[in-house]
Structure 1
Amino acid sequence: MPVKRLELHLGRLVALVAALGVLLVACSNSSGSDSTENKGGSGGAVVSNSAPGVTADAINFSMLATKSNNPTGACIYDCYAQGIEAYFAFRNSEGGVHGRKLALTEKIDDQLGQNKQGALKIINDNNTFGTFSAAQLPLGWGDLAEAGVPQYVWAIQPAAMAGHDDIWGNAGIICLDCTARYYPYAATLVGAKKIAALGYGVSDSSKRCTQSVRDSIELYKADTGQEVVYYNEGLAFGLPNGVGPEVSAIKRAGADMVITCFDLNGQKTLAQELQRQGLADVKLLHPNSYDQKFVEEAGDLFEGDIVQVQFRPFEADAGDSGLGDFKKWMEKTGAEISEVAMIGWIDADIAYQGILKAGPSFTRQSVIDATNKITDYTADGLIAPIDWTRMHESATQEDPTTHGAKQECTSFVQIKGGKFQMVGATKEKPWVCWSNANRDWAEPTKTSF
């Protein structure tokens, strides 16, 4: 596919996709983790392999993620690496893949604005097979794609992923412009009817996410009785001047729920101002506050709020999914369970599955080809199904299924007493899903993949 060069303004600091509910889950079929192949790989003698980063006993990977100057309030670099390394420890305990162990041998801090420089270093060194990336400003993803380096990424930057058949993530390409039924459904969970929608003006992803909130509430208002009573897509990133005037306007409008496309720090600033102005009963829908430590430290600030989760929640029953393995190996490696660690685990599984399917004489290109033949990828039941034969492009509002998922699925938890609790679904069936055959309103189907 042609490579799309991306020039992203430094202001695009956060890609919050409430549409990130547009994501996810279903358990592996023959294309996923439940492959009937030997889980340790090929077995027998190790086949000679001269691919970059491949030695007689290891397959080495690099990581490019944001640590310094991280503006979001979320643990990214360290947590992402912990998830990858826990997954590698899990697979290595089974013998690795094709007789070789998986190793994360190079970690680069992109310092927020140095992603391209980090990518060029990886390309020039040419001593790792593939790259994991959790970036706020993915300026180097195009360079890595052009160099044919397989990339496994945190899928919050869909524009940087689109059109590249050698970039995979914990979700397919997200349609930021499309409506989503999970927004009004989340409002029904707290009985909200009057919605405020807020986003950052400097982030294209945040703006489009906020527009999707507005359009979704409007589209289904006849079915839900909900309406948008306040809308602002132009707030400054990080809310450096506070959000007092906006909350005053929300108060005058009588909103009983605020849906934002903010980062963790923005959510906290907003919640504090709501409380200061006597609006503690106004609930928030959080796109990315699935962080137990962050919530506990906030006391009762987020009490009763709804948090959207893009994978099988930690509070759900593991069933026959990979959630049990994740928890087991995070503990074995001394790592802390977190949202971003789960993203790292899922990305590492994509890398493993592609190499496994490519066979012992794998190359970068054969792994790219093999991964793109997977039609029902769920990371062993941790995410909604991804068809990598067609989901390297975005769906559209008019055409949800040519490049989009067959179902619109997400999970929700609610904050009660500083803890997360399942809401809207069950521990056994933690997903709420709607058919994408059309965009009609309907009650969701509770699902487990």
Structure 2
Amino acid sequence: MNPIPALARRLAVPLAAICLAAACTNSGGGTDGQTGPPPAPPGTVPGVTSGEIRFAVLATGSNNPIGTCIMECLTQGIEDYFAFRNSTGGAHGRKLVVTTRVDDQLGKNKEGALQIISANDTFATFGAAQLPTGWDDLYKAGIPQYVWAIQSEAMNGKDSIFGNIAPTCLDCTIRSFAYVAEKKKATRIAALGYNVPGAPKKCVGTITDTIRLYSGETGQQIVYSNDNMTYGLPNGVGPEVSAMRAAGVDMVIGCFDLNGMKTLAQEMERQGLADVPMYHLNTYDHAFVAAAGDLFEGDVVTVLFRPFEATSKSGGIAEYLRWTSRGGHQPTEAGMNGWINADLAYQGLLAAGPNFDRKSVVAATNRMTDYDAGGLVNPIDWSRQHEWPTQDDPATHGYRQECYAFVEIRNGKFQIFGGTAEKPFVCWQNKDRSWSEPTPTSFG
């Protein structure tokens, strides 16, 4: 994603101690990278020339099964961010550029990774994969990776794979499931997911465990669950919706992609359950929701960065919207994830200083203990968050706070749900997993 999308999308700081002379900020608001003539001779570091720092993108373009833009939008976000930084000199006097784009075609991520490793002409790789079979190869080759973090298992324990969020355990409870149900005044919950090993199948179990853990405080219960749905729902969901109707379900949580949630909503409408809200883990796609008309009316969607609907006068969200517009692009979830990843790559370069290489950039990034991309995300401590937290110990390798942003669909548009436009995140203490009401929060 979770965070949450990691469970559903697979087929899903102050710098500690010493920030070198280049200066850096953990929040992503750093100084510009213009430092005069580049001190590191070109050719000594892969992908670094006298005028450029070159990056690869390895992502799913063709054969994309999830119904949303991945590779194209991710790359747009990266390049919009690079345009922003290059306008003030790039990093250490060099422009930041994407020079290699590899479409993994869903099932050829490893082949794409080996192509990048063999060429050895880019400094680092941005990734967004449904099947990240090449991430370990890039990791072993010492190539830094900045990825759309829906593949938590492939990130866990690897200190040179950074994401738009930190990796988190797939078996841990998530307060947002109970919170959204509480806000919707729902107590009879259904959970549905694909019969795909790993994150998708575990998603239903996580929902079930969460609702049961907090049932004493919320009065909620799981009255229907199904983690045996065929991917893509080729046989429809008629019997399942009939079973939910018989069980008196008053909210549905779906571990599906956009197309799966649409199929489910259409069948619920057909069977007279159009007024039963759904909680989506993936559907933050403005064009998709607008095209659906009133199909998703009243549904709630998780967002893992500061939503576009929040106030945006300053900080990372303002720069993202400004430079996305200048690039002629629309704001998208994948585009924002690309922007966040590009910011982390840039901040790591600055933190490493002008005589940087891959190892020093990885080391400098792993000294960041409060990275929030200019207020866009729940702050990450990269010195300890490459490892999964656990159900019994959410704190040692987890976030300081458990935070999510939510939007509700009204008239084919999103509006802030739970939080406020100024403070769109809702956050809980993360020392333990006890139940409490969250606090509206803003970062940056």
Q: How high is the TM-score relative to the length of structure 2?
A: 0.94
Structure 2 residue 280 is matched with structure 1 residue 286:
yes
Write the letter of the residue equivalent to 1:128. Answer: T
User: Which whole-Å deviations, capped at 9, do the CAs of 1:212-255 have from their partners, x for residues lacking one?
Assistant: 11110111111111111001111111111111111010000000
Matches within 5 A, 1:159-178: 159-178=153-172
User: Counterpart in 2 of 1:181?
Assistant: 175
User: Counterpart in 2 of 1:5?
Assistant: none
User: 25, 28, 32: which one pairs with 1:39?
Assistant: 32
Q: Is the 8 A contact 1:21 1:308 kept in 2?
A: no
User: Counterpart in 2 of 1:6?
Assistant: none
Q: CA deviation at 1:31?
A: 2.5
User: 132, 143, 150: which one pairs with 1:138?
Assistant: 132
Q: Distance in 2 between matches of 1:211 and 1:89?
A: 43
SS at the partner of 1:440? coil
Q: Distance in 1 between matches of 2:277 and 2:373?
A: 32
Matches within 5 A, 1:34-433: 34-35=29-30, 38-41=31-34, 43-49=35-41, 50-433=44-427
Q: Is the 8 A contact 2:192 2:225 kept in 1?
A: yes
CA gap 1:270/1:254 in 2 versus in 1, 3 angstroms: same
Unaligned runs of 5+ in 1: 1-14
Q: CA deviation at 1:21?
A: 9.8
CA gap 1:385/1:21 in 2 versus in 1, 3 angstroms: farther
Q: Distance in 2 between matches of 1:177 and 1:260?
A: 17
Q: Is the 8 A contact 1:16 1:288 kept in 2?
A: no
Q: Is the 8 A contact 1:21 1:182 kept in 2?
A: no
Q: Is the 8 A contact 2:305 2:405 kept in 1?
A: yes
Q: Is the 8 A contact 1:59 1:100 kept in 2?
A: yes
Q: Distance in 1 between matches of 2:365 and 2:7?
A: 24
Q: Distance in 2 between matches of 1:17 and 1:310?
A: 8
Q: Distance in 1 between matches of 2:314 and 2:435?
A: 31
Q: Distance in 2 between matches of 1:414 and 1:21?
A: 21
CA gap 1:60/1:371 in 2 versus in 1, 3 angstroms: same
SS at the partner of 1:55? coil
Q: CA deviation at 1:27?
A: 10
User: Which whole-Å deviations, capped at 9, do the CAs of 1:79-130 have from their partners, x for residues lacking one?
Assistant: 0010000000000011101000000011110000000000000000000000
Q: CA deviation at 1:30?
A: 3.9
CA gap 1:319/1:441 in 2 versus in 1, 3 angstroms: farther
Q: Distance in 1 between matches of 2:48 and 2:241?
A: 55
Structure 2 residue 4 is matched with structure 1 residue 18:
yes
User: Which whole-Å deviations, capped at 9, do the CAs of 1:391-429 have from their partners, x for residues lacking one?
Assistant: 111000001011111110000000000000111110000
Q: Distance in 2 between matches of 1:358 and 1:88?
A: 18
Q: Distance in 2 between matches of 1:76 and 1:228?
A: 33
SS at the partner of 1:322? helix
Q: CA deviation at 1:261?
A: 1.0
CA gap 1:27/1:255 in 2 versus in 1, 3 angstroms: farther
Q: Distance in 2 between matches of 1:118 and 1:241?
A: 33
Q: Is the 8 A contact 1:17 1:206 kept in 2?
A: no
User: Which whole-Å deviations, capped at 9, do the CAs of 1:147-168 have from their partners, x for residues lacking one?
Assistant: 0000000000000011111100
Write the letter of the residue equivalent to 2:439. Answer: T
Deviates more, 1:109-118 or 1:175-184: 175-184
Q: Is the 8 A contact 2:2 2:174 kept in 1?
A: no
Q: How high is the TM-score relative to the length of structure 1?
A: 0.93
SS at the partner of 2:93? coil
Unaligned runs of 5+ in 2: 16-23
Q: Is the 8 A contact 1:17 1:209 kept in 2?
A: no
Q: Is the 8 A contact 2:6 2:199 kept in 1?
A: no
SS at the partner of 1:293? helix
Q: CA deviation at 1:204?
A: 1.2
Q: Distance in 2 between matches of 1:395 and 1:208?
A: 16
Q: Distance in 1 between matches of 2:143 and 2:69?
A: 26
User: Which whole-Å deviations, capped at 9, do the CAs of 1:289-317 have from their partners, x for residues lacking one?
Assistant: 00010001111100000011000000001
User: Counterpart in 1 of 2:19?
Assistant: none
Write the letter of the residue equivalent to 2:419. Answer: A
Q: Distance in 2 between matches of 1:114 and 1:129?
A: 21
Q: CA deviation at 1:321?
A: 2.4
